[in-house]
Structure 1
């Protein structure tokens, strides 16, 4: 391999590492633009170009632009996600140059989501929390009712409606090891990116009481480390096209 080729690969590695550092930075606003072939056909390149102009004009170094692959919603593209630290992630549909200006001015700069253009909207209000439930068959929940049914009933009893807390089912978080399969269920709470390991209804009661109602994470139930599934869902967990897919290559992650 020639020196020029090696140098080129080293440069690509540096670019990739820089991108990963930017995405991992929890104190930056991330704007995510769909960049699959169908997104390009719908005008995502023009949308990205317009966002780049707005970021440059604002002179902000805490805003990161990120291109992602297929979002699975061809009829709604171009799709843009805005991720503000400490706030619920928001996805916008059919974004064009005019809407870029509105999203950047109202949401990114002023912190007010453009509710009338939200994906599958419009909505009157954003939920304060989103709970993603691990849907893997390896997660265990022993009872007459499903984990999702029990959680929904407990949220309702606590006075937390769908306007306050949104519940959705994801697939495997990759959070189990061989000794834990069939013993626990897992849930990821956004926007806090908090992954919990739940064994029984008492654990659920504590999460609802302390975290969702009180704003205090339950440390004893936290899943340690960064699982593959958790990293993925932090970026794409609000995209149904991704979080409802079955894991194939990583289906035994944590077991083997």
Structure 2
């Protein structure tokens, strides 16, 4: 009996190194850190959310695609125009340079993760992936009216883009579908203020002008009957007869007739 116990103990001691060798790899596997999660494919998510055309433009721009992928790791909020909103804008997009196209695409994302509630609480200017830290350009303004989140720019004729749907929202990535393309003022004309209306002419000068035009001219008094001294002799005689018939004053030459007749008689 003792001999059997010693043999069994020796056998078990011989098996212990083998068991330890098998347990070591299993323990090593259990302690290995878990692999980091794969970052979401932002363009694939856009395509599934009704922004397939916009996602295709991002994938076709190497600069925009690399910036979007890098931003995913640190946090990003993208605003992708729906296919219906992007379609009428394509002629303007094609007229841009390669750098302009990349800037416009990056203008549709903020380098911060925002939930929808966070957007509603963040009224005011917001930086984008296209913002240059030195120039401080390529910003848009978030405005909220009630529960509606809108994004506005200063480009002429640009309509406000309204958030229509949440495509994806899981920290650190949020994607929202909007109903208009965001147009940066750096690529498009600034909205011009309407020209002021011309000031109305002063009433006083105009009234004075009317008075000057319609001022009655001074009309000289109508001349009286011509003096008898200036009339012809035949007219003088007619006037003398007419005045005599009407009891009017006698002209000076008629009063001198008696004296003339007396001188003529003396000479005879």
> What TM-score do the two structures reach when normalised by structure 1?
0.24
Q: RCO (CA 8 Å, sep 6+): is it higher in 1 or 2?
A: 1
Higher-Rg structure is 2
